[in-house]
Amino acid sequence: MEVTSLTTFVFSVVSVMALGCAGLVVTQRNVFRAAIALAGSFLSVGILYFVLSAEFVGVVQILIYVGAISVLVAFAVMFIQDVTSGSRPARGQVIGAVVAALIFVALVFTSFNTNWSTMDRINDPVAIAALTEGWVEIGTDDDVRITLESPSTSDEVVVENGGVLVDSTGVLGVLLVREYMLAFEMIGLLLVAALIGGLLLMRDPERTSGQPGRKISS
Amino acid sequence: MIIEHVLFVSAALFAIGSYGVISRRSLITVIMSLELMFNGVLIAAVAFSRFTPPAALLSGDPLTAEAIRSTLTGHAFAIFVTAVAAGEAALAFAMVFAMSRAGDSIEITDASDMKN
């Protein structure tokens, strides 16, 4: 099978899986089953990232969403909810459906009516080579992948058909610690704050001695 | 696979999630639907990163390493949003757990205790 049609096939299958599992999450009465469907939806979205040639984001998605958040949801369901009884009938199914349909129609209408500037300009390796004036082509592989090197800084990139960077993980790492250094550090601060906040909220006020009068929840 | 198809999936995931947020009663299911909405947004970010070139590539100037790196801005955005969503989910479940331990209902229509 040709590569592009295979990509389209995998994309279709994975999209249907993601949307089907998402539909189960919002319709399933049994909350534990909804949590399992949520994990399935996360996993499908992770595979979708691989199809979109975002390998690192796909791995992050599987590690954090499938590995951490789904487990957190499962634990929360087991700790909190009477699983078998499930959640009671919904509040406003009609208004929810109407609002969701409006959002969906608006988003799809906008995305199909906007003239996105697509990757055409850097679609083929020759155009990339022409764009990267001064960069030297130091290797090709079956006319699919070309390696370019900047003579001044000796930065190297590998570019594939479709204008996709092959070594996107390495480039992304450099991007995170150069251009987005501040945001990267702030994320660490935010996670520490969330960790401390979670610990404070989960603390049992009755069983914590030595700190009188510090009840967190009512 | 063109960008419109990916944006279609993203919009559908976002709409399904918003339906869940509006119509479900249990706080746990509402948080799960919120995560679905996050995923829809992230798919859009990665799709834009994959299909649309940044302005630095279209300007016609000779490429720099910064311009090539900027094609992956959507990936960096996705990673940051994932981290924020993870922290948010942990805090949200801690709050729901605190509510349920205090003996309160965890249904969203009853969740007005926080102002007390």
Please spell the DSSP secondary structure of A13-34, one letter per residue. Answer: HHHHHHHHHHHHHHH-SSHHHH
> Quick one: closest CA in A to B58, which residue?
A121
**What's the pLDDT score for residue A109?**
93
Q: Do B97 and A91 touch (CB under 8 A)?
A: no
Q: Would strands A136-141 and A145-149 be described as parallel, antiparallel, or unpaired? A: antiparallel
Contacts of B64 in chain A (CB under 8 A): 150
Of B52, B97, B106, the CB nearest to A118: B52
Question: Looking at residue A121, what is its pLDDT?
Answer: 41
Residues above pLDDT 70, as percent of chain B:
78
**Separation CA A21–CA A126 (nearest Å):** 42
Task: Report the C-alpha gap between A212 and B89 in whole angstroms.
Answer: 29
User: Does B54 contact A at CB distance below 8 Å?
Assistant: no
Provide mean pLDDT across the span B69-91.
Answer: 90
- Cα Rg of chain A (Å, integer): 24
What's the rounded mean pLDDT across residues B77-102?
A: 89
pLDDT level of residue B98 (50, 70, 90 thresholds): confident
Residue B107 pairs with which residues in a beta bridge?
B26
Whole-angstrom distance, CA of residue A25 vs CA of residue A32: 10
Residue listed under structure tokens 């610990």: A199
Test the A interface: residue of B3, B8, B16 with most A CBs within 10 Å: B16
Of B11, B58, B95, the CB nearest to A111: B11
State mean pLDDT over B40-63.
Answer: 78
Give Cβ neighbours of residue B74 (< 8 Å, ≥ 6 apart): A54, B45, B46, B47, B48, B49, B50
Q: A66 CB contacts (<8 Å, ≥6 apart)?
A: A39, A42, A43, A46
| A26 closest CB neighbour out of B19, B82, B86 | B19
Instruction: Specify the pLDDT at position A157.
Output: 66
Mean confidence (pLDDT) of chain B = 83
Exposed (0-12), middle (13-18) or buried (19+): which is B18, by Cβ within 10 Å?
Answer: buried
Give B5-15 pLDDT, tens digit per residue: 999 999 999 99
* Tokens encoding B80: 């940051």
Residue B85 has pLDDT above 90, yes or no: yes
| A153: contact with B, CB 8 A cutoff | yes
**Interface touch A26/B24, C-beta < 8 Å:** yes
Three-state secondary structure call for residue B64: coil
Q: What is the pTM of this model?
A: 0.81
pLDDT in tens, chain A (218 residues): 566 788 889 999 999 999 999 999 998 888 889 999 999 999 999 999 998 888 899 999 999 999 999 999 988 888 876 655 555 555 678 898 999 999 999 999 999 888 876 654 444 444 455 445 556 666 665 555 666 666 666 666 666 654 566 667 888 888 899 889 999 999 999 999 999 999 888 887 666 555 555 555 54
Beta-carbon separation of A175 and B68 below 8 A:
no
Give me the pLDDT at residue A168, please: 76
CB contacts under 8 A, A 106-135 vs B, are: 107-108, 111-112, 116-119, 121-122, 131-135
Point out the residue among B33, B58, B106 whose CB comes nearest to the CB of A80.
B106
Q: What is the pLDDT of residue A124?
A: 47
ipTM of the complex: 0.89
Which residue among A31, A45, A193 places its CB closest to the CB of B26? A31
C-alpha A46 chain-centroid distance: 7
Q: What's the CATH code, domain B3-115?
A: 1.10.287.3510
Q: Given CB atoms, is B91 within the 8 Å cutoff of chain A?
A: yes
Do residues A54 and B49 touch, judged by C-beta distance below 8 A? yes
CB contact under 8 A, B35 and A65: yes
Tens of pLDDT, residue by residue over A112-145, are: 888 876 654 444 444 455 445 556 666 665 555 6
The average pLDDT across B25-34 equals 88
What pLDDT is recorded for position B2?
80
Secondary structure E strands in A118-176: 136-141, 145-149, 156-160, 164-165
Q: Is B32 in a helix, a strand, or coil?
A: helix
Confidence at residue A6, expressed as pLDDT on a 0 to 100 scale: 84
Cα–Cα dist B45/A143, whole Å: 29
**Contact across the interface for B18 and A194, Cβ inside 8 Å:** no
Query: Among A87, A102, A158, which would you mutate to test the B interface (most chain B Cβ atoms within 10 Å of its Cβ)?
Result: A87
d(CA A92, CA A89): 9
Mean pLDDT in residue range B82-108: 83
Domains in chain A, start-ordered, CATH in brackets? 3-116 (1.20.120.1200), 120-202 (no CATH)
Higher-scoring residue by pLDDT: B110, A78: A78
Token pair belonging to A55? 């390998």
Beginning with the edge strand found earlier in the chain, give each strand of the sheet holding A156-160 in spatial order: A136-141, A145-149, A156-160, A164-165
